Amino acid sequence: MNRFNFWRLSVDASKSGLGAVLLQEGKPVAYASRSLTETEQRYAQIEKEMLAIVFGAECFHQYVYGREVIVESDHKPLEVIMKKPLSSAPARIQRLLMRLQKYQVQVQYKPGSEMYIADTLSRAYLPVTSSSDNDIEDQVHMVISNLPVTSAKLEEFRKETRNDVTLTKLTETVLDGWSEARNQAATEIQAYWNYREQISVVDGVLFKGEQLIVPVALRAEMLKRIHEGHLGIESCRCRAREVLFWPGMSQSITEMVNCCDVGSTHQKRQNKEPLHPHSVPERPWQKIGVDLFTFDQQEYLLLVDYYSKFIEVEWLKSDMRSATVITHLKSQFARHGIPETVISDNGPQFSSREFQDFAKEWEFCHNTTSPHHAQSNGMAERGVQTVKLLLKKAKAEGNDLYLSLMNLRSTPLEDIGASPAQLLMGRRIRTRLPTTSQRLQPQMVTKTVQQLLETRQQKQREYFNQGTRALQQLQVGDTVRMWQQGVWNPAKVTGLSEHPRSYVVQMPDGQTYRRNRKFLRQSRDNQNVTQQTECDKTQGQSEMDMQSTNVTPTEFPSSPPKTASGCIVSKPRRLIEE
């Protein structure tokens, strides 16, 4: 026979027999058939069809070996299996595929109505059996024996699989063969349609590849075991995908982790957000930042001008009363004028009624930063660092602190070309460095300073924003977790602050706090810890509702799941009941 002619191998498997016919130019050349052994008759239909391919190739070895051969099969999932890696196939099919490795076969789907010869042979088979199934069964039993479960737990899986209505129907479908279309399959097993070529039945247990298919009754227990150690969502998913499977498992794990109060409480801190800088003032001493700091058991008050970066330091000794702070501020305001805006933290000296009256009487706007968010008053915080460093150096060398402050105020700013003293006073101040009288003459330098400051601020903003991510804006009524003493505690947003990224939140005990967005993590879980057990019980309640039912909280309303961009998360269409 001409070895260059086009060869086709048509195979089929019935309930109890195999048939194969070798075709050349569409005409039969050789026939083969045999009966199935008692063990082979218990194979799933997809395994029988793969066995038919192996049987046909080995029967006509002298014709097909060394040639590219088209194999016709009426089982469409085999087309997909032949294109996937060997490791992704079920145990029996893996063994059969290994026997096909020496042949160059390409499986093509052909409707059974057009494969009448192979179909006839599989039904009118010769009463001849093969003993080659022993190796295949050895492979299957090796997979079962190497499963990371005890024999008692494996027996429990068998029992619950038999008691599970959906898995019982799935077992029957796998053994008898899948329908041609998804809508023709039973409604309860349509969720498994996309994985049909990977599902097999081994010793009463269902597998997807090498993953155990978990009955509904055991899913809650498996979820608890998956979450042992309180790992994150992705880590739990990776653990589960190694050995377990059921439709919607990833979503069930996500909801389980979100329901875990311990995991939600002990999360890492959030990523930093893009910089939101203060607006650059139009003139000197229009906006100032104030802060208190301690050095060498002495208290100090610091003022810094947001325009000129000019720093003033007042020594408070040990008197930290609000009245003392106000007296020193009045002294500075009498020297430089009353600013329009004063920015401070929420210390008792600045949040007292006395300071509020002072701001009202002297007619300036007092803005406070979010608690524990020093970045909001970064200018004053940076000034504190600078002055503390000057104090340390002056103390170490026995120098005069005021000389160090003078040198700081007379040093030109980078990218600006003028010193803080020039920007505030319109002139250079005389220092111990020799200079001419001409350079000490008043000279206004404020025409382009604001533009230069804005350019400098934009550069700082671009560098800072590298690797940052904006957090989703919160709404009144949202359930959140607030960072408090190293853990995330449940809270609820009750109001929006007038300042950017600042919210008013209420704790379960009724206490109210103001916090920056970085200290508030949007929560999808039910914050009532007493309902954690109820959340666990909902896992796997319904076999078609593969995702656990949300528990209605008694304290805080739960907001729908959303992505970082604000889009509402919905179930995939394949997981929604039809």
What is the CATH number for 412?
3.30.420.10
Would 470 be classed as within a structural domain?
Answer: no
Answer yes or no: do 308 and 442 share one domain.
yes
In b/e form, how buried is each residue of 460-486, taking b as 16+ CB within 10 angstroms? eeeeeeeeeeebeebeeebbbbbbeee
For 2-12, write each residue's pLDDT tens digit. 444 578 999 99
> How far apart, in whole angstroms, are the C-alpha atoms of residue 7 and residue 30?
12
Task: Give 188: exposed, middle or buried? Use CB within 10 Å, 0-12, 13-18, 19+.
Answer: middle
- What pLDDT does residue 372 have? 78
Answer yes or no: do 136 and 249 share one domain.
no
Answer yes or no: do 231 and 116 share one domain.
no
339: pLDDT strictly greater than 90: yes
Please name the amino acid found at residue 430. Answer: R
For 48-105, write each residue's pLDDT tens digit. 999 999 999 999 998 888 888 999 999 888 888 888 887 777 778 888 888 898 898 9
Residue 437: other Cβ atoms inside 10 A: 7
- Grade residue 265 by pLDDT with cuts at 50, 70 and 90: confident
- CA-based nearest residue to 219, from 532, 542, 529: 542
Contact (CB, 8 A) for 254 and 566: no
Would 378 be classed as within a structural domain?
Answer: yes
Answer yes or no: do 379 and 415 share one domain.
yes
For 465-481, write each residue's pLDDT tens digit. 788 888 888 889 888 98
- Cα pseudo-dihedral 325, 330, 332, 335, rounded to 10: -170
- Grade residue 560 by pLDDT with cuts at 50, 70 and 90: low
> How far apart, in whole angstroms, are the C-alpha atoms of residue 332 and residue 69?
95
Answer yes or no: do 254 and 318 share one domain.
no
- Domain of 206, CATH number, reads 1.10.340.70
- CA-based nearest residue to 10, from 46, 47, 64: 64
Would 278 be classed as within a structural domain?
Answer: no
Answer yes or no: do 294 and 441 share one domain.
yes
Mean pLDDT, rounded, for 132-148? 53
> How far apart, in whole angstroms, are the C-alpha atoms of residue 76 and residue 414?
72
Answer yes or no: do 453 and 343 share one domain.
yes
Say how far residue 334 (Cα) sits from the centre of its chain: 55
Please name the amino acid found at residue 183. Answer: N
| Local structure of 472: helix, strand or coil | coil
**Domain boundaries, position 494:** 478-522
Contact (CB, 8 A) for 447 and 493: no
Last residue of a domain, one of 84, 114, 141: 141
- Domain of 487, CATH number, reads 2.30.30
- CA-based nearest residue to 273, from 370, 168, 161: 370
Task: Kindly give, in sequence order, each residue whose CB lies less than 8 Å from that of residue 333, ignoring residues fewer than 6 positions away.
Answer: 339, 362
Task: Indicate the DSSP class of residue 562.
Answer: B
Task: Kindly give, in sequence order, each residue whose CB lies less than 8 Å from that of residue 414, ignoring residues fewer than 6 positions away.
Answer: 456
> How far apart, in whole angstroms, are the C-alpha atoms of residue 527 and residue 559?
12
> How far apart, in whole angstroms, are the C-alpha atoms of residue 146 and residue 212?
12
What would the two tokens of residue 13 be? 């498997």
> How far apart, in whole angstroms, are the C-alpha atoms of residue 467 and residue 275?
11
| Local structure of 68: helix, strand or coil | strand
Answer yes or no: do 97 and 182 share one domain.
no
Would 561 be classed as within a structural domain?
Answer: no
Would 324 be classed as within a structural domain?
Answer: yes
More confident residue, 468 or 559: 468
Would 439 be classed as within a structural domain?
Answer: yes
Mean pLDDT, rounded, for 368-396? 87
Would 79 be classed as within a structural domain?
Answer: yes
Would 553 be classed as within a structural domain?
Answer: no
What are the helix and strand counts (H, E) for the chain? 20, 19
- CA-based nearest residue to 517, from 485, 483, 494, 487: 483
Answer yes or no: do 153 and 238 share one domain.
yes
Answer yes or no: do 137 and 155 share one domain.
no
Answer yes or no: do 192 and 325 share one domain.
no
Domain count, the chain: 4
Task: Give 279: exposed, middle or buried? Use CB within 10 Å, 0-12, 13-18, 19+.
Answer: exposed
Answer yes or no: do 231 and 310 share one domain.
no
550: pLDDT strictly greater than 80: no
- What pLDDT does residue 553 have? 40
- CA-based nearest residue to 48, from 75, 70, 23: 75
- Cα pseudo-dihedral 555, 561, 562, 563, rounded to 10: 120
For 483-500, write each residue's pLDDT tens digit. 888 888 889 999 888 778
